[in-house]
Chains A and B, each alone.
Chain A
Amino acid sequence: MNSVFFRSTIALVLTLSWLASMRAETVLSSDLQEAVKDLADGTFPRLASESVKDAPVERLIRVMTGMGRPPLSRGDFEKYQDELAELTDAQGEVAELALYLRARLFQVHRIPRDHETAEALYRELGTRNPMSHWAQLGFVKLGLMRLFLSPKGIAEPERRSKAEAFLPMLVEPALKRDLHLQIGWAGLYFDWPLSEVIPHLKAADEVGGLMGMVPEDLVLQIAELSFRNGDTAVARAYFERFLQEFSTSDKRFNVEQRLVDVANEVALKEGVLR
């Protein structure tokens, strides 16, 4: 009972903090707003020349424009990371975004990548304001790093638990979903027991909202892996859902045949039980 009360209180506090962190903090001038819209569309804005009077958000947009044209030269990397380090000292969303982008610079833009510095920056972001969107996104990136960058020879349960440790910190459903999905998929590659993989895939599927081929893949994977794991009821339910939801899939024939296999397996089990 106490545990339920404690968990509910924590969840309430986290949710309220998250909502509070979403308040508007950055007001852009119309010129800057146009520039940011261009960046969001993947095109590059023409910005006025640099000035010492530039507001932090303007400086941030300059760095973002540069980061949008990878790969970065060593000189650009140094310049942007210095700039972001200065912006990070402030407070509010610009500072949090700057800190996140600085972590990204070290994690993926720097050649060679510097994972240790990136991890420290993500952790700093998480300590400052764990409910900010950028800290939340940082937790997903940290989860990926634990999955794929853990030292050679690490025991698989340890790899899994290190990545899973970030899940309770994620309060944004879409980001939680993304990490569940990647943990599940990594588990397939690392040959984790299916009973440990399937719950992650189910959790990702339950949130929904995924794009491209992933929704179709997920339903199919839950069905097939459950079948392999001996759970014919779940397998049948998800195979049937696949046929219902993905009318244009070129794997419908495969799934129809698999449903026959499931039925045969069920009949066999029932025969044995009788």
Chain B
Amino acid sequence: MMAKRRFPLILAVVASIYLGSVAWVLVHRPDSEDERVTVRIAHWQVEVGPSQGFAAVIKRFEELNPEIRVKQLIVPPVVYKQWLRANLAGEIAPEIVEYGVWLNGMTDVPVKYFQPLTEQLERPNPYNEGTPLESIPWLETFTDELSEQRLNSPEPGQYFAITLTRGSLRLFCNRELLREITGSEEIPKTMIEFRELCEKVATFGAARDRPLMPLAGSGFNAQFLMNTYLGGATSKLRVELDRDGLLSLRPLNILSSYREGRWSFQRPEIKAALQLLAELQQQMRPGYLQLGRDEAAREFLRGDALFIFSGTWDATSLRKEARFPISVGRCPQLTADDPVVGPNILGRFSDGSNTTGFGLSLTKSGQHRPEAIKFMQFLASYEGNSIFSEVSGWPPSVKEVPMRPEIAELLSPADGYSNGSGVFSGGGNCRALLERNLHLLARHDGGVDQLADALDEQMPAAVQADLQAAARDAWLSVLPQDSRIAALGLLLDGVDGAARVELRRERLEAGQTQSEARGMLIEVQLQSAQSVGTK
């Protein structure tokens, strides 16, 4: 009886809950969001700064373009390559992705999966209207006019990315600790001064029984340190190997000159440079090669290391997380009177150029390419890049964008030789050699000679593999162009603006001929008898 009386009541409650839910859904329906197009952008910059910079740019962009929503995906660097490859192959990659030419085993990606941005870059960026960059072709608004793209584009003449920032290599210094040790805040300007400071640090640490090192150490930071000084310490050799008259070396020069026996690790200049590396690695804690980038940062932030050598990408993180004031110093320079490498150097080496980075590419499979291009245009516009730089603390890639002094000090003036690729920069296989063998410098039975011998033993195979990869990449960019060139030829007869079509075809043909000649030349090198051994 009671149950019967309660039934209408329960029914009424259920009905009101249902009606209430319907009303809630109707009222709270994300009406505009459902209509909005979503553009996704993926990158691996997990440091403090860039993700906040992106968020701020996205907020402003969405205000200007309420019909578009932008989602930022931060993928950890350790899995980024695999993640990107899988998403590209599955045609589910975000519209915009970060890519760098140095990512090992990924050189085929741009041609296969990215849409060239050349045509957009040749026109003014609409978001630059009313700014000092108005009416200037977008390409010319980047401080380096996308030099990395010009240099490494798999299709010569095509641009596959825009960039967001530029940087340099710096010594970040614990200013209080430096004053405590030396009584001064002066960061050493030369390697000779740096060596003297390292001795003072050792004495200071020993007197206090404190595990203090001049440099915070990790395999990651050491790679940059070693390659920078290796290049600087062998600049005269660079002149000797520069057969093409480019005043710097390119990866292919490194590979072919080694293969032809024009240099080896037994060369006195290279052994002297390896000796310098041995000195440098002694300034990092034992076992540093096994440590990650974060551990080096923690060592520095704990006050257990006076400096950390890193790229300016770490500047914001270090400044935000340190409990002490940080000074930023330029790389201590090698000088003609340096006892180890002095006779082998031309002069100052560049510790940062105006080359821009943090390259973002447009994927071919992205669902909303026009909207993605719009967002890229805003991101690399005067306003967008200003917001990104201001919030992230990273230097801007766009000309005329104002910078705070602490951002501006991260950039280097053009006051040193740009040496181009170092001896380990021939390709992914050569790059891995230094990392794999550097421990030989520190072993009790190791040293410069042991390292040089090991490198010469492994280098021929690495050169061979890198040349093969370079040839494969060259052909990969050649083959699909035949149908594009033919299509442009057919279009010439049937469209308005034939001159523009003809120009596109001319450029594609020029690019294809360059790639084709490159592929053929590398094959000639691969077929030629290897003559390593000239020492």
User: Does the CB pair A251–B418 fall under 8 Å?
Assistant: yes
Chain B residue, CB-CB nearest to A250 = B353
Closest CB of chain B to A133's CB: distance in Å? 7
User: Does the CB pair A188–B520 fall under 8 Å?
Assistant: no
Contacts of B246 in A (CB 8 A): 217, 220-221, 224
Bitwise, B502-533 to A at CB < 8 A (1) or not (0) is: 00101101110110110011011001000000
Closest CB of chain B to A191's CB: distance in Å? 8
A41 to B467, CA, bound (A): 30
| A42-B517 contact in complex given A221-B245, A258-B247, C-beta closer than 8 Å | no
User: Does the CB pair A148–B493 fall under 8 Å?
Assistant: no
User: Does the CB pair B244–A221 fall under 8 Å?
Assistant: yes
Most interface-central of B483, B484, B485 (chain A CB within 10 A): B483
Chain A positions 77-101 with a Cβ under 8 Å from a chain B Cβ: 93, 97, 100-101
Chain B residue, CB-CB nearest to A66 = B483
- Counting CB contacts under 8 A, is B364 at the interface? yes
User: Does the CB pair B248–A251 fall under 8 Å?
Assistant: yes
A80 to B143, CA, bound (A): 46
Identify which of B350, B476, B509 contacts A137 (C-beta below 8 A).
B509
- Counting CB contacts under 8 A, is B126 at the interface? no
- Counting CB contacts under 8 A, is A271 at the interface? no
Contacts of A60 in B (CB 8 A): 486, 490
| A254-B248 contact in complex given A211-B156, A214-B514, C-beta closer than 8 Å | yes
- Counting CB contacts under 8 A, is B17 at the interface? no
Chain B residue, CB-CB nearest to A134 = B489
Determine, out of B128-136, B147-155, B225-233, the stretch whose residues face the partner at the interface.
B147-155
| A248-B480 contact in complex given A25-B493, A175-B509, A212-B153, C-beta closer than 8 Å | no
Identify which of B415, B482, B510 contacts A104 (C-beta below 8 A).
B482
| A212-B150 contact in complex given A40-B504, A97-B489, C-beta closer than 8 Å | yes
Chain A residue, CB-CB nearest to B494 = A28
Identify which of B156, B247, B493, B527 contacts A220 (C-beta below 8 A).
B247
A188 to B244, CA, bound (A): 6
- Counting CB contacts under 8 A, is B495 at the interface? yes
Contacts of B513 in A (CB 8 A): 140, 144, 178-179, 182
User: Does the CB pair B147–A250 fall under 8 Å?
Assistant: yes
A57 to B115, CA, bound (A): 27
- Counting CB contacts under 8 A, is B417 at the interface? yes
- Counting CB contacts under 8 A, is B174 at the interface? no
User: Does the CB pair A253–B417 fall under 8 Å?
Assistant: yes
Closest CB of chain A to B500's CB: distance in Å? 11
Identify which of B245, B415, B490 contacts A36 (C-beta below 8 A).
B490
| A37-B491 contact in complex given A178-B513, A254-B247, C-beta closer than 8 Å | yes
Chain B positions 279-318 with a Cβ under 8 Å from a chain A Cβ: none
Contacts of A43 in B (CB 8 A): 364
Contacts of B150 in A (CB 8 A): 212-213, 216
Determine, out of A1-9, A10-18, A68-76, A118-126, the stretch whose residues face the partner at the interface.
A68-76
Chain A positions 209-235 with a Cβ under 8 Å from a chain B Cβ: 209-214, 216-217, 220-221, 223-225, 228
Bitwise, B107-120 to A at CB < 8 A (1) or not (0) is: 00000000110000
Contacts of A264 in B (CB 8 A): none
A24 to B504, CA, bound (A): 18
| A220-B245 contact in complex given A108-B478, A211-B511, C-beta closer than 8 Å | yes
Contacts of B418 in A (CB 8 A): 250-251, 253-254
Contacts of A217 in B (CB 8 A): 246
Chain A residue, CB-CB nearest to B490 = A36
Closest CB of chain A to B43's CB: distance in Å? 24
Contacts of B480 in A (CB 8 A): 42, 68-70
Chain B positions 338-367 with a Cβ under 8 Å from a chain A Cβ: 346-347, 350, 353-355, 364
User: Does the CB pair B483–A67 fall under 8 Å?
Assistant: yes
Closest CB of chain A to B525's CB: distance in Å? 8
- Counting CB contacts under 8 A, is B329 at the interface? no
A149 to B521, CA, bound (A): 9
- Counting CB contacts under 8 A, is A236 at the interface? no
User: Does the CB pair B484–A228 fall under 8 Å?
Assistant: no
Bitwise, A156-189 to B at CB < 8 A (1) or not (0) is: 0000000000000000001101110110011011
Closest CB of chain B to A217's CB: distance in Å? 6
Closest CB of chain A to B160's CB: distance in Å? 11
User: Does the CB pair A26–B494 fall under 8 Å?
Assistant: yes
User: Does the CB pair B243–A188 fall under 8 Å?
Assistant: yes
Closest CB of chain B to A199's CB: distance in Å? 15
| A144-B517 contact in complex given A36-B487, A134-B489, A250-B350, C-beta closer than 8 Å | yes
Apart from A210-B157, A211-B511, list 18 A-B contacts with CB within 8 A. Answer: A39-B486, A40-B504, A64-B483, A67-B482, A68-B480, A97-B490, A137-B485, A174-B506, A177-B510, A185-B517, A188-B244, A212-B149, A212-B151, A212-B157, A213-B151, A214-B157, A248-B145, A253-B418
Can you offer 21 A-B residue contacts whose CB atoms are under 8 A? Answer: A24-B494, A40-B484, A40-B491, A68-B482, A93-B493, A97-B486, A97-B490, A147-B517, A147-B520, A152-B527, A210-B510, A211-B158, A212-B150, A213-B151, A214-B514, A221-B246, A248-B147, A249-B147, A250-B355, A251-B248, A257-B347
Report B's interface with A, CB cutoff 8 A.
115-116, 143-145, 147, 149-151, 153, 156-158, 242-248, 256, 346-347, 350, 353-355, 364, 414-418, 475-476, 478-480, 482-491, 493-495, 501, 504, 506-507, 509-511, 513-514, 516-517, 520-521, 523-524, 527
What are the 10 closest A-B residue pairs judged by CB atoms, nearest first? A211-B157, A68-B483, A224-B245, A250-B353, A39-B487, A70-B479, A148-B520, A40-B487, A213-B150, A64-B483
